[in-house]
A and B are shown apart, each in its own frame.
Chain A
């Protein structure tokens, strides 16, 4: 009896394992298929058609590296690339510094910690378009900012911040530094969490002052946090689109001062239906993102998954 029962259980265990595997595949099937269709296949497809002159009706001609060569000589693409890199170079350090400052401040034993944390994160909760709409009013020639500037100067001030090519991009930078620094603060707060309190206690016993404790202990120990925030911030900045699209009505104006890579890609693909060239621009952007992420990883010397 016992032997039979044992054998039967062995058998059921084996088929149980198979069943478990099948059920497991079944449970993840839909996500995996959707990732294959809408992420992996597009990656290959974009790479493929970037070597063709490809229109809405399909392949027009095999142009080899022609699209990439065109990007190399394309004035507008240069402008978009320059704008995007300048944007990234300004926004990333600003976001990191502001995010870190807010995090370290909120991380103290303060009253209303939760309130401050909530207040600083709030702009990140509101949608990009709704908030850009508010910004277009505040930065309009008769907007709140000019009222304030006018009141300080004593004479009316009517600069159109998004309307002048000299300030349009910088206004978008300011807007996004403001809205996203709260997110960076949250990442830094989570990172501060992983520093054991004993470290601070030891520093306090040694009589280290707050400022020194910060630079000598907190800042270096936040290395994984710096890396994560830098990567997220760089990737987000290189893909800036919503705000540029909204303030320029999609055209990247005035005078192409708000033309970003993604905006140019969008115009090339959707308005211009030059799918092959748009795909090539996408591949170039992907390569830039990939390279910068890799460089940051070397700089911070840390493997990374999520």
Chain B
């Protein structure tokens, strides 16, 4: 355990990853053990590669089927065709316009963007305070933040639903509005944890220099600390955007009854319940939901890995 944590956190994967991420800006996850030379080495390696490729293929088939079906016409889905005879984007066109997925896409994008921005700001500001500023009760409050990770969503369902139906004191009715989702997702405890761990590893010299220049706390945070926390901010961005984009549980509850603000998962559910076996359109809708995250994943893989291992307590 390095000194940088400032406390005795056990070497569980999340903590190991958070620390390594903070030190190296990346989580390599796994140093290969040294090769043990042997006569059967070559054959064994070949078998390992073969198995790995087969498993990777098995992991890949559903997505392949998803994409090819979305390019088919409904009659063509009846038989078994690996690739459509006349690939067409008709199903996408239908899904986006007739079945409103353009709207759902825009909603998902809007909600995920707002929630990500709020999380970026509040988790980095709070993480900076927890890592650097001295105030009474700091450790207790940080432990309190981590403890909220223990409280399951379902337990919160009834109270949160009731609060959003009729907010005590102010009597806001927020069910069926964007705001309801924003207000319950201001900032995630896992993001705060990740940002704090990251800030702890940044040498204090930078801030001292800023302080000598007469910079205040917020300016130090904004001008000095944030630019140094790039990788952690990237991980928070990816993690939050993906989590919000894919979220089903809370949108299902708080967007109740207002189809105009449905996100992609809710749109897919609605489509499935109304047009049970319109497979090409359903597959097109699921590709529309999966593709943006896939693109993010391809380009920012290391932040995905870092974020999930360091802070991802989402089962």
Within 8 A of B (CB), among A210-266: 210, 213, 224-225, 227-229, 232-233, 235-237, 239, 241-242, 245-246, 249, 261-262, 265-266
A241's nearest neighbour on chain B, judged by CB, is B249
B153's nearest neighbour on chain A, judged by CB, is A239
A102's nearest neighbour on chain B, judged by CB, is B55
**Which residues of B lie under 8 Å from residue A302 when comparing CB positions?**
10, 12
Is B155 an interface position by the 8 A CB rule? Answer: yes
Contacts A35-B145, A118-B301, A237-B315 given; does A17 touch B134 at CB 8 Å: yes
CA distance A125 to B134 in the complex (A): 38
* B192 x A190 contact (CB < 8 A): no
Within 8 A of B (CB), among A261-306: 261-262, 265-266, 269-270, 275, 278-279, 282-283, 285-286, 289-290, 302-306
Q: How far is the CB of B177 from chain A (nearest CB, A)?
A: 16
Among A129, A249, A303, point to the contact of B273 (Cβ < 8 A). Answer: A249
Is B294 an interface position by the 8 A CB rule? Answer: yes
Among B134, B145, B221, B264, point to the contact of A130 (Cβ < 8 A). Answer: B264
* A201 x B34 contact (CB < 8 A): yes
Among A17, A35, A249, A303, point to the contact of B144 (Cβ < 8 A). Answer: A35
Is A34 an interface position by the 8 A CB rule? Answer: yes
Among B9, B134, B313, point to the contact of A20 (Cβ < 8 A). Answer: B134
B148's nearest neighbour on chain A, judged by CB, is A39
**Which residues of A lie under 8 Å from residue B314 when comparing CB positions?**
236
**Which residues of B lie under 8 Å from residue A285 when comparing CB positions?**
152, 154-155
CA distance A184 to B80 in the complex (A): 34
Is B242 an interface position by the 8 A CB rule? Answer: yes
Among B158, B256, B282, B312, point to the contact of A137 (Cβ < 8 A). Answer: B282
* A210 x B36 contact (CB < 8 A): yes
Interface centre among A42, A135, A192 (most CB of B within 10 A): A42
Is A178 an interface position by the 8 A CB rule? Answer: yes
Selected interface stretch from A4-12, A109-117, A164-172: A109-117
**Which residues of B lie under 8 Å from residue A100 when comparing CB positions?**
none
**Which residues of B lie under 8 Å from residue A108 when comparing CB positions?**
32-33, 48
* A304 x B10 contact (CB < 8 A): yes
Contacts A28-B126, A42-B155 given; does A270 touch B161 at CB 8 Å: yes
Q: How far is the CB of A7 from chain B (nearest CB, A)?
A: 21
Residues 171-192 of chain B, each 1 if its beta carbon lies under 8 Å from chain A, else 0: 0000000000001101101001
Among B31, B60, B160, B282, point to the contact of A197 (Cβ < 8 A). Answer: B31
Is B88 an interface position by the 8 A CB rule? Answer: no
* B149 x A306 contact (CB < 8 A): yes
CA distance A205 to B291 in the complex (A): 48
Is B236 an interface position by the 8 A CB rule? Answer: no
Is A61 an interface position by the 8 A CB rule? Answer: no
Interface size class of B (residues with CB under 8 A): 35 or more
Contacts A31-B126, A42-B155, A134-B65 given; does A126 touch B32 at CB 8 Å: no
**Which residues of A lie under 8 Å from residue B315 when comparing CB positions?**
180, 232-233, 235-237, 239
CA distance A36 to B33 in the complex (A): 46
Is B308 an interface position by the 8 A CB rule? Answer: yes
A27's nearest neighbour on chain B, judged by CB, is B129
Contacts A21-B135, A27-B126, A38-B156 given; does A187 touch B66 at CB 8 Å: no
Interface centre among A17, A194, A236 (most CB of B within 10 A): A194
* B59 x A123 contact (CB < 8 A): yes
* A306 x B264 contact (CB < 8 A): no
* A38 x B122 contact (CB < 8 A): no
The total of chain A residues at the interface (CB under 8 A) is 119
**Which residues of A lie under 8 Å from residue B9 when comparing CB positions?**
305-306
**Which residues of A lie under 8 Å from residue B17 when comparing CB positions?**
190, 193
Is B253 an interface position by the 8 A CB rule? Answer: yes
Contacts A24-B138, A140-B277 given; does A306 touch B158 at CB 8 Å: no
**Which residues of B lie under 8 Å from residue A192 when comparing CB positions?**
29-31
Q: How far is the CB of A128 from chain B (nearest CB, A)?
A: 6
**Which residues of A lie under 8 Å from residue B285 when comparing CB positions?**
130, 133
* A187 x B309 contact (CB < 8 A): yes
A105-B52, A110-B52 are known; give 13 further A-B pairs, CB within 8 A: A23-B218, A107-B32, A115-B56, A120-B55, A120-B59, A129-B264, A129-B268, A133-B283, A137-B69, A187-B13, A190-B17, A228-B14, A305-B146
**Residues in chain A within 8 A of chain B (CB atoms):** 17, 20-25, 27-28, 30-32, 34-35, 37-43, 45-46, 49, 56, 102-103, 105-111, 113-131, 133-138, 140, 142, 144, 147, 151, 178, 180, 183, 186-194, 197, 200-201, 204, 209-210, 213, 224-225, 227-229, 232-233, 235-237, 239, 241-242, 245-246, 249, 261-262, 265-266, 269-270, 275, 278-279, 282-283, 285-286, 289-290, 302-306
Q: What are 30 inter-chain pairs, A to B, with CB distance below 8 A?
A: A17-B134, A23-B218, A28-B129, A35-B144, A40-B148, A46-B158, A107-B33, A118-B297, A122-B294, A129-B246, A129-B268, A133-B272, A134-B66, A137-B65, A142-B77, A144-B65, A183-B312, A186-B29, A186-B308, A190-B16, A190-B29, A191-B12, A192-B30, A197-B34, A227-B12, A239-B315, A261-B154, A266-B154, A270-B256, A306-B313
